[in-house]
Amino acid sequence: MKKSQSIPTAPRALPLVGHLLPLVRNPTLFLDSLPAHGDMVKIRVGPFSMVVLCDAGLTHQVLLDDRTFDKGGPIYDRAREVSGNGIGTSHHDEHRRLRRLVQPSFHSSRLPGYAETMTACIDEAVSSWRAGQILDVPTEMMAITSKIAMATLFSGALSREELDKLLDAGMTLLAGFYRRMFLIPPLDRLPLPGNRSYTRARDHIHEVCGQIIAQRRVDGTDHEDLVSALLSAHDVDTDGRGMTDAEIIDTIVAILLAGIENTASALAWALDFLAQHPEVERQVHDEVDTVLSGATATHADLRHLEVTNRVITETLRLRPPAWFFTRTVTADTRLGGHFLPAGTNVAYSPYLIHHRPDLHNRPEDFDPDRWDPRGPQPPRHAMIPFASGARKCPGDTFAMAEATLALATITARWRLEHAPGTERRPALSLTLKPRALPMRTWPRTVAQ
């Protein structure tokens, strides 16, 4: 059996920073280069070393065995500063119970109510656009998804001013999270402006969420939002025990941070791809003109928006917002013929798997028809934007519904074209989002 030392190391590592520079300059290009060196490749990012999985089968094996390959490494170490031991960051021994408690909040029976809130938020945002206006598309999509996140979580629990303050805190956390991943102690604890604002934002979110939970426990009414669903959850496998306030707060924070930026990034890239591919854009326009007739998309329309849904799916393949994850080996094990000692950081990338030519025909092409169920489908395990196994995102259906409703409504009313200054290269951050995407709006009328 091969030893861990036989795992090849990616070339061009620099002293101290390792492979950080190519990751910063062009993260997708760096990831695309790794499979040429083997199915498992060592990299170093600042003070952290890790083994990157370049093979879909090995990645699937790691995702299924979350006991051996537990949530850990630099990404989750930082995430726990914000969302504690919530469902997205909890270790294996706590995750099963939390998942049983959180999953009912995203049950299909609740989706129509959430979709009604989504529709209202999307309609408000899209109705405010003006003909010929140049939008900063990533920012505009963040505005839409943040309103949806707040409304579906808290219903009417906060005033507009309180919501805006909470959103500002969330944006501060998102902006600082990735930077702090590469700060080694004690730099992350120094009283620097960035560290102070990050800590204040985290504390504010926890305080507001705690106040809402306390009010809801006294109130006892189901407000048909996510907080009410989390409060009412009880686990029959643990004598009906529900979630503690701390666990609910951690889950809310995880939903906020993941739900806002991930969906916004996917929508921004989808609009970018449609502007580059007029033939696909025409297909989407034909569909939304037939299904919506200029109206705002609703839950009842989702089953008819097949092309729009395929556009979102293909966007998630080409530009998966959650693009890089780390796991920690909890016990000596073997993977892909290599020995991995306990404590090894293992990383996998949906982006890398989604761009392998042996898994996806013409992987760099934007081709939503590859997801047409009437045609050949990519291999199993070749598409993991929401991960898989026991740690698969419980809100995947929620996110797909939100993105489909938003894209359908936008394309029904507006055609967006690239404006000067468009830069399609992804930025290095917690999500794989565009560096700059200014687009000009042109109103549409329903095709007759």
Q: How far apart are CA 230 and CA 118, in angstroms?
A: 19
CA distances for 360 relative to 154, 357, 371, 375, angstroms: 40, 5, 11, 14
**Which residue is it, tokens 């696909």?**
280
Query: Where does the pLDDT of residue 187 fall: very low under 50, low under 70, confident under 90, or very high at 90 and above?
Result: low
Q: Indicate if the pLDDT at residue 180 is higher than 80.
A: no
| pLDDT computed for residue 2 by the predictor | 46
Instruction: Write out the DSSP string of 413-446.
Output: HEEEEE-TT-EEEEE-SSS-EEEE-EEEEEE---
Render pLDDT for 109-152 as a digit per residue (tens, 0 to 9).
999 999 999 999 999 999 999 999 999 999 999 999 999 998 99
Render pLDDT for 208-223 as a digit per residue (tens, 0 to 9).
999 999 999 988 888 8
Of the candidates 396, 372, 375, the residue with the CA atom closest to the CA atom of residue 385: 396
| pLDDT computed for residue 191 by the predictor | 72
Residue, of 239 and 276, whose pLDDT is higher? 276
CB 105 within 8 A of CB 86: no
Q: How far apart are CA 103 and CA 395, in angstroms?
A: 8
Amino acid identity of residue 72, one-letter, is G
Q: Indicate if the pLDDT at residue 5 is higher than 70.
A: no
φ and ψ of 88, to 5 deg: -80, -20
Residue, of 272 and 22, whose pLDDT is higher? 272
Question: Cis before residue 186, ω within 30 degrees of 0?
Answer: yes
| pLDDT computed for residue 82 by the predictor | 75
CB 344 within 8 A of CB 62: no
Render pLDDT for 363-415 as a digit per residue (tens, 0 to 9).
999 999 999 999 998 888 999 999 999 899 999 999 999 999 999 999 999 99
Q: Give the mean pLDDT of 337-356.
A: 96
| pLDDT computed for residue 79 by the predictor | 75
Angle between helices 137-154 and 396-413 (to 10 degrees): 130
Of the candidates 265, 282, 269, 262, the residue with the CA atom closest to the CA atom of residue 418: 269
Amino acid identity of residue 192, one-letter, is L
Q: Indicate if the pLDDT at residue 4 is higher than 60.
A: no
Query: Where does the pLDDT of residue 195 fall: very low under 50, low under 70, confident under 90, or very high at 90 and above?
Result: confident
Q: How far apart are CA 178 and CA 181, in angstroms?
A: 5
Q: Give the mean pLDDT of 284-290.
A: 98
Choice among 158-162, 272-276, 312-316 with the minimum mean pLDDT: 158-162
How is residue 149 written in tokens? 């996140």
What is the spatial order of strands in the sheet that 69-71 belongs to?
A: 40-45, 48-53, 345-348, 325-329, 69-71
Helix (H) or strand (E) holding 370: none
Q: Indicate if the pLDDT at residue 448 is higher than 70.
A: no
Amino acid identity of residue 304, one-letter, is H
Distance separating the N- and C-terminal Cα atoms of the chain: 67
Residue, of 368 and 446, whose pLDDT is higher? 368
Q: Indicate if the pLDDT at residue 440 is higher than 50.
A: yes
**What is the model's pTM?**
0.92
Residue, of 188 and 127, whose pLDDT is higher? 127
How far, in whole angstroms, is CA 421 from its chain's centroid?
A: 26
| pLDDT computed for residue 27 by the predictor | 86
Q: Indicate if the pLDDT at residue 430 is higher than 80.
A: no
Q: Indicate if the pLDDT at residue 76 is higher than 80.
A: no
Q: Which residues contact 343 (CB under 8 A, 6 or more apart)?
A: 328, 329
Q: Give the mean pLDDT of 62-81.
A: 86
Q: Give the mean pLDDT of 287-299.
A: 96
Q: How far apart are CA 278 and CA 271, in angstroms?
A: 11
Ranked by mean pLDDT, the top range of 80-89, 396-405, 422-431 is 396-405
φ and ψ of 365, to 5 deg: -85, 140
Mean pLDDT of the chain: 89
Residue, of 129 and 21, whose pLDDT is higher? 129
| C-beta atoms surrounding 356 within 10 Å | 17
Q: How far apart are CA 21 and CA 18, in angstroms?
A: 8
